[in-house]
Amino acid sequence: MSYITVGKENSGTVDLYYEDHGTGKPVVLIHGWPLSSKSWEKQVPALLDAGYRVVTYDRRGFGNSSKPTFGYDYDTLAGDLNTLMTDLDLRDATLVGFSMGGGEVARYLGTFGSERVERAVFISAVPPYLLKTADNPEGVDGSVFDGIMESIVADRPAFLSGFLSNFYNVDLLGGDLVSDEVVRLSWNIAAAASPKGTLDCVPAWLTDFRNDLRSIDVPVLVIHGDADRIVPFPASGKRTPELMKESRLVVVEGGPHGITWTHAGMVNRELLDFIGQRVKLAQPVAGTPT
């Protein structure tokens, strides 16, 4: 198992678990909350088959990474990504951020620039700014996030069950585009995360990324489902391209939050087309639109 040290807490180090496979231009996959790099199961093989070097890592507090009691703000998380990029000396990379991972992509580019980055992809991502304010009327009311935090504190495992049902829109897509076993796998991954990290990430979703997005000077692809119940499309993916110099928006009709699984075939084709190569997918998801 491979790790990169990004900090220290008392007598222990804060280490990020990562995997680095393949050759060619690097593609860095940054997972969403409350999952881990295992959530890229449908994307990694397609990227490797297309001849890319694929780097995945677990955010601090999640997966196989260390679970410190601090550092769940986006400045720290973007710093963790920068350490990974620097230590692995990644260049001409494509950064792909899913959900919360989109925040890392935005803040990394806004803080550290695009010297090492050729392209960026936001999938079901939280930017530009989720919180409803006077100057951001399209956002989500803050009481929603207060309720999420209260539910996590009260009964995190029970909260995760309801959250993941809405993550995949199981009531509509279950059995066809997502199985009970996939939802169970996601729950197992999420339940193993740091309880404190799981809770402390929620306020980070309310970060204002608008200035970060305006500073991005590389081509950007935005992919978002219009039936996303977790990060609503009107408050996020629909608005992100408006702040970009060069961007393309792909709307997945009927797509839930977890389109990297339910609509993996479509997501992979758009991703590969964007970074320069199409491939024939080895194992398309049954029922996925072609």
Q: Which residues share a beta bridge with 57?
A: 18, 30
**CB count in 10 Å sphere of residue 253:** 10
Phi/psi class of residue 2: alpha, beta or left (left: φ > 0; alpha: ψ in -120 to 50)?
A: beta
According to the model, what pLDDT value does residue 66 have?
A: 98
What are the structure tokens assigned to 203, written together?
């306020």
Q: Smallest Cα–Cα separation from 45: which of 238, 266, 279?
A: 279
8 Å CB contact between 71 and 42: no
Single-letter residue type at 16: L
Could you give the C-alpha distances from 78 to 84, 95, 137, in angstroms and in order?
10, 12, 27
Distance of alpha carbon 239 from its chain centroid, rounded?
17
pTM of this structure: 0.94
CA distance 245 to 113: 14
**Residue found under tokens 């990694």:** 44
Q: Could you state, in order of their start, the residue ranges of all structural domains in the chain?
A: 2-274
pLDDT of residue 279: 35
Number of residues that make up the chain: 290
Q: Which of 37, 65, 212, 257 is catalytic?
A: 257
Please confirm, yes or no, whether 99 is among the known catalytic residues. Answer: yes
Per-block average pLDDT, block size 10, for the chain (290 residues)? Answer: 96 98 97 98 97 98 98 98 98 98 98 97 98 95 97 98 98 97 98 98 98 97 98 97 93 98 98 72 39
Residues 6+ apart with CB under 8 A from 181: none
Which of 65, 99, 236, 247 is catalytic? The answer is 99
Catalytic residue among 124, 228, 236, 247: 228
Q: Residue 34 is encoded by which pair of tokens?
A: 């409350």
Residue 179 designated active-site = no
d(CA 186, CA 215): 34
pLDDT given at position 1: 81
Q: What is the topology classification, in CATH, of domain 2-274?
A: Rossmann fold (3.40.50)
Beta carbons of 14 and 82 less than 8 angstroms apart:
no
Contact between 196 and 90 (Cβ < 8 Å): no
Q: If we measure between CA atoms, which residue out of 49, 58, 60, 53 comes closest to residue 200?
A: 60
Is 228 catalytic? The answer is yes
108 neighbors 239 (Cβ within 8 angstroms): no
pLDDT at 282: 35
